[in-house]
Each structure stands twice: as C-alpha cells, then as structure tokens.
A and B are shown apart, each in its own frame.
Chain A
Amino acid sequence: MAESIPVGHGADHADHGDHGHHEMSFTEKYVFPLDHKMIAMQYMFTGMFMAIIGGFFAYVFRMQLAFPGIEVPGFGVVTPAAYNSLVTNHGTIMIFWVAMPVLIAAFGNYLIPLMIGADDMVFPKINRLSYQVFLVSAFVILGAFFVEGGAFGGAWTAYPPLSTKAEYNLSGLGSTMWITAVFLEFVAFLLGGINFITTAMNSRAPGMKMWDIPMVVWMIVIASILFMLSVGPLLAGGIMMIFDQNLGTAFFDPDRGGDPILWQHLFWFFGHPEVYVVLLPAVGIVADVITTFSRKKLFGYKTVLYTAIGTGVLSFTVWAHHQFIAGIDPRMANVFTVTTLLISVPIAEMLFVYIATLYGGSITLTTPMLWALAFIFEFLIGGVTGIFLGASGNDIFMHDTYFVLAHFHYTFYPIAIIGTFAGFTYWFPKMFGKMMNEGLGKLHFWLTILTFNGIFLPLFVLGAAGQHRRIYDFQNYPELAQPWMQDIRQFATICLCVMLGAQLIFFYNVIKSWMSGPASGKNPWRANTLEWTAASPPPHGNWPEGLPNVYRGPYEYSHPDREEDYWPQNEPA
C-alpha cells in the first residue's frame, strides 16, 4: 500500500513545505484515490450510472403496463420473468445503488471534511475500501442479469417463500447474487459510516462547537448512526436467506419449523429506518440551500436537530406497519399505528421550520433553490399520504396497491432525485470550479417536476381504485382492464418517457458547464460554511495554506451589524 500519500499540510503542522508531495500517477489519483473528494466523485458517478440503469428498467416495465405485450423499443418483448426481475432490481438499485451512494456516500464524503474544516476523512484507506466493496456489489447485482435464469425476481423486499424458492421467483443463481450484492453494499456503507461519524465527532476545525456544525453534516452523521444500528438484523437475515436458498435450511419455511414473518421483521426493522437514512441527508441539503438563497438564519437550528434525532429514535418503532395484513396481532397493529402517526410530527415540524425560514427572506430562485422548494412541496405529499397508510384500518384496504407505490415514490423521489439535484447544482461550482447554466437548469427542473407529478398523481387514483402492485398484465383482470384505467397508465408512462428524456438536458448541462462554464470563484453563492473558503475545486488537502478556524454558526445571514449579508464561519469577529 502506498504509504507516502501526500497528506498532512496546514496549520496544525509546524512546517508548511511540500514535504511528502509527489506527482500522483493516473491510477493513484483516479482509480485508487485516498482523497475524500475523488472518492465522493466515484460514488457520485457510479450512483448516476446506476440511476440511468434503474430509470431504463422503469421505462421498460412501464411500457409493458401501458401497452401490454408490445416489443419495447431498446429491450424487446417483456416476459413475466423479465418483468419480475425488472421491478425487483429497479427498486433495489434505486434505493441501495442510487439513493444511498449519492446522498450519503457522495455528499458525505465530499462535504464532511470540507464543511468541518479538515483535510480529509480520518481513515482514508477505509474510505477507499468502502468504495471498492461498493463497486464490487454493483458488479454483482448487474452481473445477475447475465447468469442463467436471469436476475432476481422476488420483489425488492424479498419476502419468503417467494424469494427462497426458485420455482416461485423464476430466477436461479440470480437470487443468491441479489442478496449477496445487498450484503456487500451494506458492508461498504458500514465502513463508510464509521468514517463519517468518527470524522465529524473528532476532526472538526478548532472552535467548531456542536451547534456550529452545518445541518447537512449533522444529518449525514445521524443517518449513518441510524444505518449502523438498524442494518445488523438484516445482515443476519441475509445470511439466513442465503442458507435457505442454497443449503436447504428452513429459517423462513413454515412447513419445516421456520417462520416467513421473521424475514419481514428483520427486513423492515432495517427497512423503515432506511427511509430516514436517506431522508435526513436530503433534509440537510435543503436546509443549507434554503438558508443561502433566502439570506436568513435557519429558523430553529436546534429544533431541526432535535426533530431529526426524535425521528431517528421513533423510526426504530414503526416497522410493523408494513405487516398489518401479514397476520400480526391486531392489538400490536394498534401500537404500530400510533408510533407511525407519531413519527409524522417531527417530520412535519421540520417542514414548518423550513417554511418559517423562507418566510420574510429575500429569496433568489436559482436552480438549486427551485429544487429545494420542490423538495419541501413534493415530500409533503409523500408524508401526508403516509398518514393514510399508517392507519391500520385504512391500510388493510390500501395495502400493496398503487396507492402505496405512489406514496413511497412521493417520498423517495423527492429524497433521492430532487434532493440530489438540489445538492448537486448547489455544490457544482465547488466541485468543478464552474457555474452551471441557469436557463438549462431551470428547463430541466420544470420538465422533471411536472412529469414526476404526471407519473405518480394518477397512480394514487389507480391505487384507490384497487389496482394491485406487481402484476404483469392488468388485461387479465377484467375489473382492472377498464379503458379509463388503461388511459391513465399510458399517461403515466408517457410522462415517464418525457422525464427520462429531460435528463439528457441535465447531462448536457453538466458536461457543457464543466468544459466551458464561467469560472465560479471560491464563493459564488456568498455562503457562510467552510467549504466556500477553499479553492474551487479544492486541491488535495483542501486548504494547503492552512486549515481554517471557526468563530460562529453556519447560518449567520443578514446580520444587522454587518454591511455584508453573510458572515463566513472562519472570519474572526
């Protein structure tokens, strides 16, 4: 292992020379980097690549639903087995290979050291290992498409016996590859999470107290802790499932003394906190964006923090709301109904705090700000429909319909897509040193947001009309094959195609701005947090001239005693 990686210059060091500095080869810099920013870029672009694949899967199975049996352009005829693997892997990839790597790993890696004024993560080699394990896991999940029997088709929640019996899920080795890939991905994020938590706890700039930490850093750290404490049972469950699939054990087989509900408990004990694992970083990103563009202090910094912690604690007590019709005791269902409705209180409080932050601010509608506002608005719809489903009586009717599907897309889409775009467009100048094109950015924003609502609002209607999830061809069910329903399905699919097409604008904008955008300078948004005091893009070690000290909180905008409407954290009073 290369021991002479050039790190360790700055204020904490006696000599400011270039000691240990040597020219890094291409492989050292881009393939096996130790620099947190480069690892963040690896995560970011791997996540985006996986998002394209997950989006393509959605296109294929939506085409099958809208126009059953047609030859889908770019794919061909969708067989039932292929349909099952496509929906399964769409869900798995979008959550574990898009939302997690981009929101936690990419933004966490990029932002934590820069925002707390450190030169790198505390364990750069573990950081590199984390990405490498993640990359292997991505190869494993995609590789499953090329083995006999194709990729796993037992739904992303992998309920047994569907997931453990090949005759039910119609896939062979693909099932084991799926659970192995998920397992490896979790290991990668445990490695990354230890780095995030330890770095934020120990490596803050001198003077940065608890309440001076930018909200997005707090949120990524809380999310990492949630992940770390919730994923263990599912790792154990994953081992049991691999044994059930391959060794013939019967952990989840009721005929031979096992219990299929056990898997649902292990899965959702992780699965529900996981929602908040990806939500919190997005909420943090939005906090940083809206304060900058409304030139106001975050209304109730500690309120946001405490509600996030409260959400985290509560998130461990809600998991059985996924099992209201799985045969759990109705008295138990009442308990989980109450906890589920309770958890909407801290989340609602967060949204109110954000609205209060916006109130009376001098708002500039830049592209990142539009994304952040859209996050608040769209996530609200996801949250409110969640209350419908959290009530066990109502959920018995709604369970496994497109109402559920539309609900969680209204939560995950704002988190994983809207939140990511808000963060990416906000920190793009820092990452690449160039400004993005605002016109193209806004065009991309409006096309994406309008079509997103065009896809999922109609699906609420279909779900309420009884349309079930995970059905290959609705024409086989007369009550679901009515012409008005098919019209809605086609409308949603057309919206999806437009939305996927609109992403070309984004990629064009990224490449064009990267190549020939106007230089951004250090602090184009006139923001307070420390990353804006480093060069754009920051060099290896972030602040070669010496690491910053911190004198105040991150959101001192429009302070009455100052001429400037912002007050960088590192400026002495």
Chain B
Amino acid sequence: MSRPIATTRSMAGIPTARLAVWWIIASEIAIFGGVLGSYLMHRLAHGIWADYAANTNEWLGLTNTFILLTSSLAAVLAHQAAERGDGKRAANLLYATCAGGLAFLCVKAYEWNYEISHGMTITSNTFWSFYYTAAGIHALHVIAGCILMLFVAQTAKRNEELHRVEIIGVYWHFVDVVWIFLFPLLYIAK
C-alpha cells in the first residue's frame, strides 16, 4: 500500500497517527466537557437530583468500571505484544479488549432495561435525561471503539500495521477515562 510522502514525515517528532489520535481526543474532551459541564451546572442548582440519583445501581456501575479497566489492561498488553512484533498475540488481546467492551454494554443494557421498566425513562426529568444522554454518548464511543478494534486486530493478525494497535489503545483508554468521570457523577454522588 502506498502512502503520500506527507504521511511518512514527522517534523514534530511524533508519528503522524499518534499525533492525530491525540487531536481527536482533544475534540472529544470538548464534547464530553459540554455534556458534563451542563450536567454539573444543573446538578448544583437542583438539590433534589440527589434523590433521583439514589435510584442508580452503584454496584452495577462499579462492575462496569472494573470491566472497562480490565479491558484497558488487555489493550496495554496488546500494545506491548505489538511492540515486540507479535501480531498474533496483539490481535488476541484486542479481541479480549473487545469482549470487555461487549460485557460493559451487556451490563449497561441490563441496567437500562431495569430502570426503564421501573418508570425511570429519559423523559422522566432532567436528571434522567442527562443520565441517558451522557451514558448513551459514552456507550456509542464504546461501540465505535470495538468496531475499530476488530479492524485493527484483522491486520495485526497478519503482522501488518502494528502501529495501529497503540493508536486504538490510546483511544480505548480515553473511553475508559470518560467512564471514570461518568461513574462518580451519575452513580456515586447522591
């Protein structure tokens, strides 16, 4: 596969793909910053939201935190394997990361199903609107990360484009960090 010479240059001293993923993360921070900033302003102005938040299941939230952090560990190990040039192992570890993402989504689906069937829907009040919107945007990022990771694993299995393993890992850690913000804000603060 031929690339433009532009792609292979590195005037800033950082590989192009890594530079780009950091800029993507910068723009993502602004998106989640907008959601969470709005949520926080409302939360501080409405003491009653603590009562609504009491209905969230912090044990399931904690489980999901654990699942995501574990999957991030698999992503780190995949990066290590890719550095050593072991594409096959990197691919397998990426599949494990994906499985973590899937497990996270399953727990999320169970939670939402429970909450919606007990009358706590996105239109119940503004707290629940924020709850579903913020966690929903995050879940979309989990899904997108999983899909991209499957593509990266496909090529990594053939020992090609191994630098991509690191890039998708950086993105996955970011998704993880967003959850680290969402979990206390939506589940713990009561």
Contact = CB atoms under 8 A, between A and B. Distances in A.
A198 B6 CA distance: 10
A232 B20 contact: no
Contacts of B32: 232, 236
Contact of A243 (B8, B41, B46, B122): B122
B11 interface: yes
A122 B9 CA distance: 9
Contacts of B99: none
B70 to A, nearest CB: 28
A240 B1 CA distance: 42
Interface residues of B, number: 41
A232 B35 CA distance: 9
Interface in A413-463: none
A179 to B, nearest CB: 15
A10 interface: yes
A251 B126 contact: yes
Contact of B20 (A198, A204, A208): A198
Interface stretch (A113-121, A343-351, A487-495): A113-121
B84 interface: no
Contacts of B122: 243, 247, 249
Contacts of A190: 27
A236 B23 contact: no
B55 interface: no
Contact of B5 (A8, A208, A234, A249): A8
B2 A118 contact: no
Contacts, number: 151
A20 B38 CA distance: 52
B3 A203 contact: no
Contact of A121 (B4, B41, B42, B123): B4
Contacts of A202: 6, 9-12, 14, 16, 19
B37 A233 contact: yes
Interface string A496-515: 00000000000000000000
A5 interface: yes
Contacts of B4: 7-8, 118-122, 124, 541
A249 B123 contact: yes
B129 A232 contact: no
Contacts of A259: 42
B38 A119 contact: no
Contact of B6 (A3, A203, A250): A203
A256 interface: yes
A268 B41 CA distance: 17
A8 B26 CA distance: 30
Contacts of B116: none
Interface in B1-53: 1-12, 14, 16, 19-20, 23-24, 26-35, 37-38, 41-42, 46
B57 interface: no
Interface of A: 3-8, 10, 12-13, 20, 113, 118-124, 190, 193-195, 197-199, 201-204, 208, 228-237, 239-240, 243, 247-251, 256-259, 262, 266, 269, 541, 547
Given A198-B23, A204-B11, A256-B125, 16 more contacts: A4-B2, A8-B2, A120-B4, A122-B16, A123-B16, A123-B20, A195-B20, A201-B14, A228-B30, A229-B26, A231-B30, A233-B33, A248-B123, A250-B125, A251-B126, A251-B129
17 contacts: A12-B5, A12-B9, A123-B7, A198-B16, A198-B23, A201-B14, A202-B14, A203-B16, A228-B23, A232-B30, A233-B37, A233-B38, A236-B35, A236-B38, A236-B137, A239-B137, A258-B126
